[in-house]
Chain A
Amino acid sequence: MEDCLLKIRGISKSFSGVPVLSKVNLDVRTGTVHALMGENGAGKSTLMKCLFGIYKKDEGEIFLEGKPINFTDPKHALENGVSMVHQELNQVLQRSITDNIWLGRYPTKGPFVDEKKMKKDTIELFKRINIHLDPSTPLHKLSVSQRQMVEIAKAISYDAKIIVLDEPTSSLTDKEVELLFSIIEIIKKQGVGVIYISHKMEEIFQISDDISILRDGRYIGTESAKTMTREKLVSMMVGRDLEKWFPPKTNVPGDVYFSVQNLTTKYAPVVHNISFDVRKGEIFGIAGLVGAGRTELLDALFGVRTRASGTISVNGAPVANLTPHESINNRFAYLTEERRVTGIYPMANITFNSTIANIQAYKNKLGLLQDKKMDEDADEAIKSMRIKTPSKKEPIRSLSGGNQQKVIIGRWLLTEPDILLLDEPTRGIDVGAKFEIYQLIIKLAESGKAVIVVSSEMPELLGITNRIMVMSNGYNAGIVDTDKTSQEEIFQLSTRYLNQTREAEV
């Protein structure tokens, strides 16, 4: 394309041997909105991080207005007219709009900051892109959408040629979305190229000129939004075969064992009115986009997050599960999403890591811990989970991700749970270890436990679960039978409530 503003050619990136991007291309034309689409983990944010120099690309080239560029950090990119408005806005909330926009390059008059000029420039800037805000307002008084506009204005003030908007509408109301779109139209006319990352189909078709699709780190293609159809887009995003990466589902679901009625959480991000049942011996999947409320739901079930209403019952009897301690006593186990943050004790050894959730069981009559019993259990966990380690005295951080995960699962199995909540159980684990974790999950279900698996990888959900609940923007968008559903159906369901504004904090 002749009027190509940003040209990305053959970018590859891998992390410890696992390719995340392979030879990705992208062309953004002057004065257009270019939508970047793909499932969770398709490589969109990795691509953007390579563009901004947060990650060092393994190969490939980037051209801005025909000149090759290689940014070292976001600041470098910003100064060269490439900026990003993050989902998580990086702003100083305590300070005013002007202070935030001119941060790092305050105009000065002698030894002092030239407040007058700053204010004047801000007002002119706002006029240019039609924003109506008082520049002296501190940011914590603004709504998320207003803060976003400030961030866009800041990008414009750096003479941005490319602005990346990452899920900009995820927390906006319809009206605010309209306002955002009108601003995007204005900056488009000024020749800015916008890279727009979003999962919301309606929006993509409404705002974008071109659409590019990534899948599994590969570039699938680019089409004009005019010729693209919804069906085609979805199939480009998910269109892959379910490879035989999964052990046979030998578990047989029995009677309803665990049930949740009308569960709503108290604090934002809110999960609304969720009801579902899980049978004994069933593997129940929960699907959804990032931010759909899946982790929040598990948090609420385990007593980490406060519930506003709703009941949980096991075997017909209601349980409160107000604190994790209580939940463990009720034979729940919770494998958290961020293993490094909320799972492992990195410096401690395997014995400590595998026995910590069950520590009460090792007390003798005097209330002192019995090392021998703990060592026995740790050995047992290493054996039954096939954890690869030289000894149980090894600090857990020296193990691979897959083996760490096995230790944590072993930890929970020692508490003899009946209901397992597994949040992204195979995240950051290589393929071989994944298979072993799947086997383990199926074995657990076979032994009569109710297993709930949250995962962002659709093939995984389709491969090991019996039923799947799809969450969308905090709501239950539907429960489907794994054998009768498809990736397309799940994807459609996961976008079902995206235009619904979530209720604010109660």
Chain B
Amino acid sequence: MTASATKKLTQMNSHDVKELLMKNAIVIVILMIIIGIIIKEPAFLSGTVFKNILTQSAVRLILAFGVGGIIIIQGTDLSLGRMVGFAAVISGSLLQRLDYASRFYTDLQPLPLFVPLVISCIVCAFFSGVSGWVVAKFKIHPFLATLGMMITLYGILSIYFASGDPGPQPIGGFDTRYTEAVIGSTFGIPNLVIYASIVSVVVWVLWNKTTFGKNLYAIGGNPEAAKVSGVNVFWTTILVFVLAGALYGIGGFLEAARIGSANNGTGYGYELDAIAACVVGGISFSGGVGKVSGAIAGVLMFTVISYGMTFIGIDMYWQYIIKGIIIVAAVAMDAQKYIKKT
């Protein structure tokens, strides 16, 4: 540390330092883990690793934006994983190679890529919108509304999955146009990263530059104030869920091609990763705060840590333990700001 920096630090009183550390504690911890990984395995600092991390983060980020909007209005979404699964199965079932042995729709001719994408988005947006309607209409906590949706949707998705011509078996053998569009690269940049970037920009504009976005934050920050100021809380809530559904639809479409197959279990548990990334990225469960950059940071941190820990050979089970602790620590840090002192 340079002399001037030391001087600056000593000039700050202990309270300031404590607050600064508290505010950024989770970032500091994660940076320390990353530094540890680099010291252990300097090869971690390479272009390929960087590219892999971005690619792996892409779908997660799109999903995090969806649930992030719901968290901003003091909610959460447990049905995310099943939505992704449904979108993956729909997209996969509509985009199989003509010469593949067990096609979902034996006689289906090749479709333009955007058709399955749009269908996935509409289906997910519809079901998510239903959750939103339940939340807005009956004032049910999103946790419960989406818990119900998660279970119901698994049933619906499984019925669809089993209804294919070859019966209930994993959907594979995707059309090369589809896999190329998802896992290929353009001018050396992975397509997934390009899509995630486009979605990031769109979500940023929606959250920051439109009336919808302003209302989103207002409802999350103080629903009562929003209501007396004439914000249509009912429709904005539904719209937040619809947008989340559309994003899950995109996520599922990409995920099927990324993995190379889809079944009714695809996406299971993704909601927890997405919620965790949002929280670590500063999208608070207390509502009203959260940025696009925060979601990006949260997702990247999680990917870096899991990738990095695998890279230096840390056991999978230990990774779970570390990730779990990070999530609780992040939430505890966040809650610290709101604990009422009496």
Listed in ascending order, the chain A residues whose CB lies under 8 Å from chain B are: 73-75, 78-79, 90-95, 99-100, 103-106, 108, 111-113, 115, 266-267, 299, 304-306, 505
- The answer to whether A90 and B224 have CB atoms under 8 Å apart is yes
The yes or no answer to B218 lying at the interface (CB within 8 A) is: yes
B218 and A113 within 8 A (CB): no
Q: Which of B190-230 contact A (CB under 8 A)?
A: 205, 209-211, 213-215, 217-218, 220-222, 224-230
Determine if A95 and B210 form an interchain contact, defined as CB atoms under 8 angstroms apart: no
Q: List 8 A-B contacts (CB under 8 A).
A: A75-B229, A90-B224, A92-B218, A92-B222, A95-B218, A95-B288, A105-B230, A305-B342
Whether B153 sits at the interface, judged by CB under 8 Å, is no
How distant is the Cα of A304 from the Cα of B227 in the complex, in angstroms?
A: 33
Known: A91-B225, A94-B288. A104 touches B341 (CB 8 A): no
Tell me whether B225 and A267 are in contact (CB under 8 A).
no
Interface string of B222-259 (1 = CB under 8 A from A): 10111111110000000000000000000000000000
Alpha-carbon distance between A91 and B288 when the two chains are bound, in angstroms: 12
Question: Interface readout for B100-134 with A: 1 if CB under 8 Å, 0 if not?
Answer: 00000000000000000000000000000000000
- B226–A92 touching, CB < 8 Å: yes
B210 CB → nearest A CB, Å: 6
Q: Across the interface, name the chain A residue whose C-beta is closest to B211.
A: A106
A493, B305: Cα distance in complex, Å: 64
With A95-B218, A99-B214, A304-B342 as known contacts, state yes or no: A75 contacts B230, CB within 8 Å: yes
Report whether A93 and B221 are in contact in the complex, using a CB–CB cutoff of 8 Å: yes
Residue pair B221, A95 in contact (C-beta under 8 Å): yes
Complex Cα distance, B224 from A93, in Å, reads: 12
Indicate if B289 sits at the interface (CB-CB under 8 A): yes
Q: Which residues of A contact B230 (CB under 8 A)?
A: 75, 78-79, 103-105
Q: How far is the CB of A235 from chain B (nearest CB, A)?
A: 38
**Secondary structure class of chain B's binding surface, majority of residues:** helix
A94 touches B289 (CB 8 A): yes
- How distant is the Cα of A78 from the Cα of B230 in the complex, in angstroms? 10
In the bound complex, residues from chain B placing their C-beta under 8 Å from that of A305 are 342
For residue B292, give the distance in angstroms from its CB to the closest CB of chain A: 15
Q: A94 to chain B: which residues have CB within 8 Å?
A: 217, 220-221, 288-289
Contact (Cβ within 8 A) A90 B210: no
Q: A104 contacts B226, CB within 8 Å?
A: yes
Interface residue total, chain B, C-beta cutoff 8 A: 24
Contact at A90–B209, with CB atoms within 8 Å?
no
Which residue of B has the minimal Cβ distance to A267?
Answer: B341
State whether B342 touches A306 (Cβ < 8 A).
yes
The answer to whether B228 touches A111 (Cβ under 8 A) is no
Q: A90-B224, A92-B225, A95-B218 are in contact. Are A104 and B231 (CB under 8 A)?
A: yes
Q: Nearest chain-A residue to B224 (Cβ)?
A: A90
Chain B residues in 8 Å Cβ range of A505:
341
How far is B226's CA from A74's CA once the two chains are assembled, in angstroms?
12
18 further contact pairs, Cβ within 8 A, besides A90-B228, A91-B222, A92-B225: A75-B228, A90-B222, A90-B224, A92-B222, A92-B288, A94-B220, A99-B217, A99-B218, A103-B229, A103-B230, A103-B231, A106-B211, A112-B210, A113-B210, A113-B213, A113-B214, A115-B209, A305-B342
B228: chain A residues within 8 A (beta carbon): 73-75, 78, 90
Measured in the bound complex, the distance between the Cα atoms of B202 and A324 in whole Å is: 53
Query: Ordered nearest first, which 6 A-B pairs have the shortest CB separation?
Result: A104-B230, A104-B229, A92-B221, A94-B288, A103-B229, A267-B341
Report B-chain residues with C-beta under 8 Å of the C-beta of A111.
210
Question: Which residues on the B side are within 8 Å of A113 (C-beta)?
Answer: 209-211, 213-214
Known contacts A75-B228, A75-B229, A104-B231, A93 near B210 by CB under 8 Å: no
Q: Which residue of A lies closest to B232 (CB)?
A: A104
- Bound together, the chains give a CA A134 to CA B210 distance in angstroms of 22
Which chain A residue shows the least CB distance to B221?
A: A92
CB distance from B200 to the nearest CB of A (A): 17
User: Which B residues, 49 to 107, have Cβ-Cβ distances below 8 Å to chain A?
Assistant: none
Please, which residues of chain A bring their CB within 8 A of the CB of B224?
90
Chain A, residue nearest B342 (CB): A305
**Complexed CA–CA distance, A158 and B342 (Å):** 37
Residue from the set A94, A100, A266 with the largest chain B CB neighbour count within 10 Å: A94
Residue of B whose beta carbon sits closest to that of A105? B230
Q: Which residues on the A side are within 8 Å of B222 (C-beta)? A: 90-93
Contacts of B218 in A (CB 8 A): 92, 95, 99, 103-104
A95 to B218, CA, bound (A): 7
Nearest CB of A to B69, in Å: 15
Measured between alpha carbons, how far is A90 from B225 in the docked complex, in Å? Answer: 5
The verdict on A112 contacting B209 (CB below 8 Å), with A74-B228, A95-B217, A99-B214 known, is yes
Please, which residues of chain B bring their CB within 8 A of the CB of A100? 225
B208 to chain A, nearest CB (A): 9
What residues of chain A lie closer than 8 Å to B217, measured between beta carbons?
Answer: 92, 94-95, 99
Least CB separation from B225: chain A residue: A90
Which of B217, B220, B229 counts the most A-chain CB atoms under 10 A from its CB? Answer: B229
B289 to chain A: which residues have CB within 8 Å?
A: 94
**Residues on A with beta carbons closer than 8 Å to the beta carbon of B210:** 111-113
